[in-house]
Structure 1
Amino acid sequence: MTVRIENHLCYFTLDDNGQEQSLPATRVTILTDNDKAMSCVDLAGKRIYITEAEADKLTVEGATDSRNHVKAAAPGSVI
């Protein structure tokens, strides 16, 4: 899991060493990486990819949901 939430404060794991950055949920904006068809958050100059479940939890805590729906362009795509 790349994000944990405690008392409306969101902790994002930035690297494999476990370095974290925290922000109040109200200062987090959830985006969509259209090329990867994944939700993400931009933090400290890095794009942190999160699951849809994590994105939903963040929105419940007050994060801004700026995701868009990605549609498949090729027949038979899983998205």
Structure 2
Amino acid sequence: MPIEIDQTNQRCTLIGDHNARIEGEATQVRIVTDEALRMSVAELNGERVPITEQEADALTVAGAVDGRRHLKSTEEGSII
């Protein structure tokens, strides 16, 4: 699991490539949709970590900003 959330203080850790650990307040995390990856990505301190939808939901409950958007095959230029 590439995230850890401390429910006692709403701090989280994103675990990126090569086990790099990016820590910060959950409210500083932004979750976006990466169209090329076709999945959600958590952004913190300029770093991006691909995450599952379950992890994205857990981060938003902890206070992260939810900037995801649904990809639709009917939208012009959609990758799906």
Question: What range is the shorter-chain TM-score in?
Answer: 0.7 to 0.9
The equivalent residue for 1:60 is: 61
The equivalent residue for 2:34 is: 33
Q: Secondary structure at the match of 1:35?
A: coil
- Equivalents in 2 of 1:44, 1:24: separation in Å? 10
With over 3 angstroms needed to count, the CA separation of the structure-2 counterparts of 1:44 and 1:15, relative to structure 1, is farther
Q: Can you give the 5+ residue segments of structure 2 that lack an aligned partner in the other structure?
A: 75-79
RMSD: 1.7
Q: Can you give the 5+ residue segments of structure 1 that lack an aligned partner in the other structure?
A: 74-78
More off after superposition, 31-40 vs 60-69? 31-40
The CA deviation at 1:69 is 0.1
- Percent of residue pairs bearing the same amino acid type: 44
Paired residues, what number?
73
The equivalent residue for 1:8 is: 10
- Equivalents in 2 of 1:11, 1:54: separation in Å? 12
Contact 2:42–2:56 under 8 Å retained in 1: no
Structure 1 runs of 4+ off > 2 angstroms? 42-47
The CA deviation at 1:41 is 1.8
TM-score for both structures, normalised by structure 1: 0.80
